[in-house]
Amino acid sequence: MIEWPAPEVAAKLILARHSELDGDHYGCLTDAAEALEAKYPLAATLALRAMIDFALDKTRAKRYPHAARHPQTCAELARRIGDFKGHTDHDTYIATLKAKHGRKSGFWNA
């Protein structure tokens, strides 16, 4: 477990550099998402999406059961996000995932 003494700084960093997040670092990103979800739901969502995207884009089937839980968390967080600040909203993100990775039943049926 990683301690997050300044969650607002972590949230700003994730929002500013989300494209650089490495979804392979699931331990760190899971801890970050959990630490941020209460006050910074968009930053938490971007951390979760990094792990989803990594698992699907890299076809890491062993991670599908774990990554498959993240869209539900993202859906819950989306209800509290008033402004996605230029990031894709949840429904569009899921639709894009299905269009791109719809045949990966190990993920969708997990």
pLDDT, one tens digit per residue, over 17-33 is 999 999 999 999 999 99
pLDDT at 4: 67
Alpha-carbon distance of 57 to 68, in angstroms, equals: 13
Average pLDDT, the chain: 95
The pTM score is 0.94
pLDDT, one tens digit per residue, over 40-77 is 999 999 999 999 999 999 999 999 999 999 999 999 99
Q: What is the CA radius of gyration of the chain?
A: 13
pLDDT at 5: 78
Cα-based distances in Å from 25 to 21, 77, 79, 96: 8, 21, 26, 23
